[in-house]
Structure 1
Amino acid sequence: MPRGEAGAHAETYLDANATEPLRPAAREAAIAAFDLPGNPSSVHAAGRAARRLLETAREQVAARFGARPAGVVFTAGGTEANALALHGLGAGRRLLVGATEHPSVWAAARAVAGEAVVTVPVRSDGQADLEALAALLARPAAPPALVCLMAANNETGVLHPLAEAAALCRAHGALLHVDAVQAAGRVPVSLAALGADSLALSGHKLGGPKGAGALLLRPGLDPAPLVPGGGQERGRRGGTEPLPAIAGLAAAAAEALPERAAALAALRDRLEEGVRALAPEARIVGAAAPRLPNTSCILLPGVPAETQVIALDLTGVRVSAGAACSSGKVARSPVLEAMGLGAAAGEAIRVSLPWNAGGASVERFLAAWGAMRERLRRRAA
Structure 2
Amino acid sequence: MGKIIYLDHAATTYLDPKVKKAMEPYERECYGNPNSVHSAGRKMLLAVDQARKNVADFLNCTTREIVFTSGATESNNFALRGVIKAYQANGVKNPEIITTPIEHPSIFKTCQDLKKDGVGIKYLPIDQEGIINLKSLFKLVSSATVLVTVMYVNNEIGTIEPIREIGKIIKKINETRKLPIIFHTDGVQAAQYLTCDVDYLHVDLLSLSGHKVHGPQGIGALYVRKNTPLKAIQTGGDQEYGLRAGTLNVAGIVGFSKALEIASRSKSENANKISRARDWMIKKLIAEIPNIRIIGPQGNKRIPSNIYFRARGILGSDVVFMMDNNAKIAISTGSACSAGAAEPSLVLLALGLDAQKAKEGVRVTLDKNNTPLELKVFINSLKKIIKEIGSQ
TM range (shorter): over 0.9
TM-score where L is the length of structure 1: 0.93
- 1:355 Cα deviation after fit: 3.6
Q: Which residue type is aligned with residue 349 of structure 1?
A: V
Partners of 1:305 and 1:330 within 8 A in 2: no
Alignment-derived partner of residue 135 in structure 2: 131
Alignment of 1:1-381 (within 5 A): 10-34=3-27, 35-91=29-85, 92=92, 93-114=95-116, 116-137=120-141, 139=142, 142-173=143-174, 174-221=181-228, 223-257=230-264, 258-259=267-268, 260-288=270-298, 290-314=301-325, 315-326=327-338, 328-342=340-354, 343-379=356-392
Residues 116-161 of structure 1 show CA distances to partners (whole Å, capped at 9, x for unaligned) of 2111121111111112222102x4xx31330110000000110001
Partners of 1:20 and 1:355 within 8 A in 2: no
Q: Distance in 2 between matches of 1:168 and 1:319?
A: 37
Residues 246-298 of structure 1 show CA distances to partners (whole Å, capped at 9, x for unaligned) of 11111111112322100011111111111112213311111347011000001
Runs of 4+ in 1 over 3 A off after TM superposition: none
- 1:111 Cα deviation after fit: 2.8
Which sections of structure 2, spanning at least 5 residues, go unmatched? 86-91, 175-180
| Cα root mean square deviation, aligned | 1.6
Taking every aligned residue pair, what percent have the same amino acid on both sides? 31
Which sections of structure 1, spanning at least 5 residues, go unmatched? 1-8
Equivalenced residue count is: 369
* Counterpart secondary structure, 2:188: coil
- 1:102 Cα deviation after fit: 0.5
Change (3 A) 1:355 1:331: farther
Q: Distance in 1 between matches of 2:150 and 2:297?
A: 19
- 1:222 Cα deviation after fit: 5.0
Q: Distance in 2 between matches of 1:346 and 1:335?
A: 11
- 1:108 Cα deviation after fit: 2.0
- 1:372 Cα deviation after fit: 0.7
Q: Which residue type is aligned with residue 241 of structure 2?
A: R
Q: Which residue type is aligned with residue 126 of structure 1?
A: G
Partners of 1:180 and 1:200 within 8 A in 2: yes
- 1:356 Cα deviation after fit: 2.0
Partners of 1:95 and 1:113 within 8 A in 2: no
Partners of 2:151 and 2:187 within 8 A in 1: yes
* Counterpart secondary structure, 2:230: coil
Q: Distance in 2 between matches of 1:196 and 1:106?
A: 19
Q: Distance in 1 between matches of 2:55 and 2:338?
A: 28
Partners of 1:12 and 1:316 within 8 A in 2: yes
Partners of 2:291 and 2:311 within 8 A in 1: yes
Residues 317-344 of structure 1 show CA distances to partners (whole Å, capped at 9, x for unaligned) of 0001121012533531111111112231
* Counterpart secondary structure, 2:383: helix
TM-score where L is the length of structure 2: 0.90
